[in-house]
């Protein structure tokens, strides 16, 4: 372990090999290339640029080069119970930048507004060097979410202007529609974003939790850079509903959100865990009820067992599995702890063969997941 911490501060993303058999402390770039080629069976990716491991989301004019692992800012002050004070949050975000992370993710609805404000303040010193992605769609009035969707052109434009101010930037690197709006055809949303791109206020766009049909229709009007939907070892819907296939076919990147299943796959949550009912949505989710947690702990145990002989934690196993799936997948784990940030980024240093990942996948698939991921209300908003 000591050796690991002797690595330079930027070392995690800088010198790490791809997800590959034994822990390699300082792999050469050739090893990175070889590991990736073996891993993906295609041209190497992530690549190293300026010493930082990168991945590419999207293609053509929609291309977006980012660090192989991003950082989800949401949980620093919204929906994940623990909120360190602002100074500490900013320190952790700066540590992430220092370690080579160039992709930070927030949304208007997180807080609402407070999370964008935090990201804006924390990342201002790095303007032009890192990217913050944000999301419109959930209606927010006077700083409160109404539970409705509003992706009408006038609102998207207004939200864009307001996000630019809170994020302290001149152009949003990637603007996602957070949830589908049944009252506004996706073509109209795409065309509004197209205008914002022409005006330089937005650089790229993406969609969250949508169907293949919506992706195709949107992409035909304004090419998409990324789809951001839930994806991890306990929720593999995008493999079954055609979303990953259409991303592959159209050259669209994929950003798995909640890649550690909201912390569950990190192994620090058990049936006695108390969630802050004022600032954590997990107590409303069927999968986070005590009985479901008790049953699903068997899945965490599979990850822990897999990791034990490879020197990996269950969080690293969860992230590594996602990273080896496709070279155009960029997970965005969130954390309020420097130790977890280091642990998560260190995932990029492991070397596990495709056959071993398949063994893990089969072992996890043999355990039934108990509880739905969303409650009925949230479920209505996805898959359109
Ligand atoms: N598009 C959408 O609809 C959508 C929905 C949800 C989330 N998101 C995005 O996805 C990002 C991440 O999602 P998320 O926060 O729901 O889930 P996540 O990244 O899977 O999990 C975050 C939780 O895991 C814990 N954690 C992180 N690293 C850990 C480690 N190494 N070991 C043990 N626990 C660890 C964190 O607690 P500590 O603070 O203790 O580390 C935190 O509570 C968000 O920030 C947001 O940007 C998007």
pLDDT exceeds cutoff 70 at 15: no
Q: Give the C-alpha separation, 341 to 84, whole Å.
A: 14
126 in active site? no
Name the pLDDT band for 28 (thresholds 50, 70, 90).
very low
Beta pairing, strands 174-177 & 253-257: unpaired
Annotated domain spans of the chain: 2-379
Averaged pLDDT, 349-373:
97
Q: Report strand pairing: 47-49 vs 52-57.
A: antiparallel
User: What are the structure tokens assigned to 241, written together?
Assistant: 């509903």
SS3 41: coil
Q: Which residue has the tokens 């929720």?
A: 235
Q: What is the pLDDT of residue 18?
A: 40
Nearest-atom index, ligand 1, CA of 74: 45
Contact 254, 332 (CB under 8 A): no
How do 226-230 and 253-257 pair as beta strands? parallel
Of 35-44, 273-282, 331-340, give the lowest mean pLDDT range: 35-44
Residue (of 336, 332, 384) closest to 133 by Cα position: 332
What is the Å distance from ligand 1's center to 153 Cα? 31
The rounded Cα 355 to chain-centroid distance in angstroms is 25
CA 60–ligand 1 middle distance (angstroms): 30
CA of 258 to the centre of ligand 1 (A): 5
Choice among 5, 78, 110, 257 that is catalytic: 110
Determine contact, residues 35/122, Cβ cutoff 8 Å.
no
Q: What is the largest CA-CA distance in the chain?
A: 56
Choose which residue among 334, 339, 373, 379 to substitute to test ligand 1 binding: the one with the highest number of ligand atoms within 8 A of its C-beta. 334
State how far Cα 225 lies from the chain centre: 14
Supply the DSSP symbol for 310. Answer: T
| CA-CA-CA-CA dihedral for 309, 311, 317, 320, to nearest 10 | -120
Euclidean distance between CA atoms 259 and 217, whole angstroms: 27
The pLDDT value given to residue 9: 45
pLDDT tens, residue by residue, 309-355: 999 999 999 999 999 999 999 999 999 999 999 999 999 999 999 99
72 within ligand 1 shell (Cβ under 6 A): yes
In this prediction, residue 48 carries a pLDDT of: 72
- Which pLDDT score is estimated for 303? 98
Which has more confidence, 20 or 143? 143
- Please choose from 333, 337, 374 the residue to mutate so as to test ligand 1's pocket, defined by most ligand atoms within 8 A of CB: 333
In whole numbers, what is the pLDDT of the chain averaged over residues? 90
Residue minimizing CA distance to atom 38 of ligand 1: 335
**Of the candidates 101, 105, 383, which has an alpha carbon nearest to the alpha carbon of residue 226?**
105
pLDDT bin (cut points 50, 70, 90) of residue 50 is low
| Residue 123 scores a pLDDT above 60 | yes
Q: Which CATH architecture has domain 2-379?
A: Alpha-Beta Barrel (3.20)
């Amino acid at each position: 372990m000591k050796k690991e911490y002797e690595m330079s501060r930027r070392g995690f993303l800088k010198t790490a090999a791809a997800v590959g058999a034994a822990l390699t402390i300082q792999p050469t770039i050739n090893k990175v290339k070889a590991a990736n080629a073996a891993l993906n069976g295609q041209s190497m990716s992530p690549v190293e640029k300026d010493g930082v491991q990168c991945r590419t989301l999207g293609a053509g004019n929609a291309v977006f080069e980012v660090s192989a692992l991003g950082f989800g800012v949401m949980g620093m002050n919204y929906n994940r119970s623990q909120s360190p004070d602002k100074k500490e949050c900013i320190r952790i975000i700066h540590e992430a930048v220092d370690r080579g992370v160039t992709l930070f993710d927030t949304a208007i609805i997180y807080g609402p507004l407070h999370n964008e404000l935090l990201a804006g303040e924390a990342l201002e010193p790095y303007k032009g060097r890192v990217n913050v992605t944000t999301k419109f769609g959930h209606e927010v009035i006077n700083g409160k979410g109404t539970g409705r969707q509003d992706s009408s052109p006038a609102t998207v434009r207004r939200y864009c202007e307001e996000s630019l101010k809170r994020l302290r930037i001149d152009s949003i690197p990637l603007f996602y529609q957070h949830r589908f709006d049944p009252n506004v055809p996706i073509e109209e949303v795409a065309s509004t974003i197209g205008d914002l791109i022409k005006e330089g206020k937005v650089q790229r766009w993406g969609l969250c939790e949508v169907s293949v049909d919506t992706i195709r229709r949107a992409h035909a009007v304004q090419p998409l850079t990324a789809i951001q939907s839930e994806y991890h070892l306990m929720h593999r819907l995008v493999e079954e509903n055609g979303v990953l296939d259409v991303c592959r076919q159209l050259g669209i990147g994929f950003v798995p959100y909640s890649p550690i299943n909201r912390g569950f796959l990190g192994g620090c949550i058990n049936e006695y865990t108390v969630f802050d009912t004022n600032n954590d949505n997990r107590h409303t989710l069927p999968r986070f009820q005590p009985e479901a947690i008790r049953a699903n702990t068997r899945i965490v145990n599979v990850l822990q067992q897999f990791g034990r002989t490879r020197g990996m934690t269950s969080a690293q196993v969860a992230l590594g599995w996602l990273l080896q799936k496709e070279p155009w997948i960029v997970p965005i784990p969130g954390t309020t702890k420097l130790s977890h940030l280091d642990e998560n980024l260190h995932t990029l240093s492991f070397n596990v063969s495709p056959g071993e990942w398949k063994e893990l996948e089969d072992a996890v698939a043999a355990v039934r997941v108990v509880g739905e991921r969303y409650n009925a209300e949230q479920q209505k908003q996805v898959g359109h």
